[in-house]
Amino acid sequence: MNKKWRGIVEQFVLISAVFLVFLLAFEEQIVVPVWLQSFGRLHPLVLHFPIVLLVLLMAWEFFRFTREASPWIDTAEQWVSDAWILGAALTGLTTIFGLFLSKESGYSGDTLFWHKWAAVTLFIVFSGTYWIRNLSFYQKLNSRLLIGLMSILLISTGHFGSELTHGDGFVLEPFQQGKQVYLEDAIVFDHMVKPIFEKKCMSCHNPEKKKGDLDLSTKEGILKGGKSGKLFVTGKPEISLLLERIHLPLEDKKHMPLSGQPQLTDEEKMILALWIKGNATFTKKVLELPATDSLRIMGNTLFNSVQDEATNYDFSEASQETIDELTNEYRTIATVAKNSPALRVHIFNKSEFNSKKLEELVAIKKQIVFLSVAKMPVKDSDLLTIAQFENLERLELNFSNVTAKGLLALKTLTHLKSISLSGTQVNYRDLQIAMQGLKKLQAIYLWDTPLTAEDLKALSTKFKSVQIIGGFKDDGKSPIKLNPPELKNTSTIFDTKAPLTLFHTIKGVEIRYTMDGTPIDSSKSPIFNGNVTINSNTRIRARAFKTGWIGSDEAVFEYYKCAITPDSVTVVLPLNRVHKANGPKSFFDRNLGTFSANAPAWANFWTGVRNNDMELNLNFKTPKTISIVSLRIMEELTTGIFPPQAIEIWGKTNA
């Protein structure tokens, strides 16, 4: 660098220093004009250049006084001197840009204070070193002291800057081991919702950097919301600002998190939606939620139980390939705890169940410690298969077809601690015999069985080490609400006619229904007697009633007449990769997708599209006269599932 350019750069450094003093002196009164704000936003870009120069120059300076004089050293020293003043100029420019950026909304707090002053001090020390490094008093000791000081300032500036950008503890986060949270201690907000905010949101919405005037680090900040309004409407995720911003297209400038930053997973979106739907509580524990609550079910999979974690199993783990082969939409298999070989198995969908579903599990019979076949048509003969699961500890047979006599087959299960038999037809005589063979039994659930209060008391007396849970007994003094009626039909789509098959799990319940869309009247609506036939598109409304109980909520069932089925179906435009269901067959396979938070659309017969229209070609070998076309459409705004804007139906006859 010639003398002229060196002088220009030196003057720029001095002017930068004076300008910085001015900005700092009148910081509270300064308003950065719009045309300068873009320069402030260049701060994260330009800061990398002085950092590289500073590191290289400090490394050179550290060994400067240990080298012997030589021509190449003198030449290199000239280059270093040029690079030093350029580094000082870039450091000053970066610091000025940073001060411009800090004047935008959302930046405040102690982290900004220390980041700013560490950067300003680094600029002063680095620039000052340029002018004194060739003076006589500047020797080895002085140089290394200044290098040490600049190193501390550089690291501090970078550390506080990373916390402004990415949140507190960003640099050391990989080394920090989070405390194990057990299901029994898990709080919905603290351990399910807050971690999402911390990982995906708080880098921009924290006390030091409140973008949009929103701070997600405290309960008060969350409830206050930001400059766009309240974060959510309690109980209504579909109209909550938080969910709206999350589900905006990624390219939308209001989409959160911003494009290029880690995005929320489908599971995280669902947790936030369910938390808001459940009134956004900040103190409720996961286990305080109803057993059927969607958040409770998700919590069961996210957290290990103390009991599960504390158990050390001596059997080997099943191969992941075997687990994957056995897992499907009607059967889930998961480990009970991290790094544990023990497995938890749930089987769903009554219409799809058969004995083979249990027999296939023999491949992992040593690893199964929990099995739920509740509400499945399990028979006594199936218990012979279950008896092979030698390490089984908990078994759920609620509302199955097993009898107490069939339970004798389970005496080989020497580790069985808990068995649920609610809603079964067990009797006292056979049950007490079967229980004698279950030496490790600790709890048995017998709600809604033929057993009387005297039977339950006798069992408690005979098996003092076993907790007998009899559940609710209707004495008329403490009425509870009935659950809604259910439907036995495997499909509600029919060709010409179909029987109406309403039922209820509670004995002695009276089911009243309507077929004309009118509300249920507990005294005037017809009582279901099993002799009802449907021969057209019909909406069934039904409620359950029983003396001494509170009437159930209304259940609604849709019956569809489908007298005409195309010979072939072609999907012209691609389906969304996670909503393919059974492809073209899905549209006429008579499997209806359900509207349930516990049955996600991707595993529930629904087809869907994203970023293109849905276009189908229905082909008939012979001409058909079609008068009605029915479509079943899901609308679930909380997870980004929206109805079509328009539906067009075209027809033609091939020449």
What pLDDT digit, counting tens, does each position of 342-375 carry? 999 999 888 889 999 999 999 999 999 999 998 8
Of the listed ranges 243-257, 407-421, 610-624, the one predicted with least confidence: 243-257
Q: Strand runs (DSSP E) across 391-449, as ranges?
A: 394-396, 418-420, 443-445
Q: Is residue 320 part of a domain?
A: yes
Domain co-membership, 232 together with 320: no
More confident residue, 294 or 394: 394
Domain co-membership, 325 together with 381: yes
Residue in 383, 363, 365 with CA at minimum distance from that of residue 373: 383
- Terminal-residue alpha carbon distance, the chain: 84
Q: Are 530 and 503 in contact (CB under 8 A)?
A: no
Q: Is residue 215 part of a domain?
A: yes
More confident residue, 318 or 80: 318
439, 469, 499 - which closes a domain: 469
User: Domain of 323: which CATH number?
Assistant: 3.80.10.10
- For the stretch 570-589, pLDDT in tens is 999 988 877 788 888 888 88
Domain co-membership, 61 together with 100: yes
- Name the β-bridge partners of 619: 568
Biggest distance spanned by C-alpha atoms of the chain: 110
According to DSSP, the β-strands at 533-534 and 498-499 are: antiparallel
Residue in 316, 429, 311 with CA at minimum distance from that of residue 370: 311
Q: Is residue 180 part of a domain?
A: no
Q: Report CA-CA distances (Å) from 441 to 40, 257, 424, 434, 455.
A: 69, 50, 19, 11, 18
Domain co-membership, 36 together with 167: yes
More confident residue, 237 or 429: 429
pLDDT at residue 459, rounded to an integer: 92
560, 577, 607 - which closes a domain: 560
Q: Is residue 388 part of a domain?
A: yes
Domain co-membership, 143 together with 205: no
Q: Is the pTM of this model over 0.85?
A: no
74 has pLDDT over 90: no
Domain co-membership, 195 together with 166: no
Domain co-membership, 556 together with 576: no
| Confidence bin at 72 (pLDDT 50/70/90) | low
411 has pLDDT over 60: yes
What is the overall mean pLDDT for the chain? 83
261, 288, 315 - which closes a domain: 288
Sole residue written with tokens 């709080």: 187
pLDDT at residue 307, rounded to an integer: 53
- Name the β-bridge partners of 494: 561
Domain co-membership, 516 together with 543: yes
Sole residue written with tokens 């938080």: 242
- The CA-CA-CA angle for residues 240, 243, 247, to 5°, reads 140
| Confidence bin at 471 (pLDDT 50/70/90) | low
Q: Is residue 294 part of a domain?
A: no
Q: Report CA-CA distances (Å) from 309 to 186, 323, 395, 474, 478.
A: 14, 21, 19, 38, 38
Domain co-membership, 500 together with 628: no
| Confidence bin at 288 (pLDDT 50/70/90) | confident
| Confidence bin at 598 (pLDDT 50/70/90) | very low
User: Domain of 556: which CATH number?
Assistant: 2.60.40
Q: Is residue 478 part of a domain?
A: no
Domain co-membership, 416 together with 552: no
Instruction: Give the C-alpha separation, 510 to 438, whole Å.
Output: 38
* Domain total of the chain: 5
Domain co-membership, 583 together with 545: no
Domain co-membership, 318 together with 462: yes
Q: Is residue 477 part of a domain?
A: no
Q: Report CA-CA distances (Å) from 400 to 350, 379, 443, 448.
A: 10, 7, 18, 12
**Number of helices (H), then strands (E), in the chain:** 19, 19
119 has pLDDT over 70: yes
Range of the domain at 224: 188-288
Sole residue written with tokens 């991290």: 338
How much is the average pLDDT of 132-137?
Answer: 77
Q: Is residue 480 part of a domain?
A: no
* Length of the chain (residues): 655
How much is the average pLDDT of 265-269?
Answer: 82
pLDDT at residue 179, rounded to an integer: 60
216 has pLDDT over 70: yes
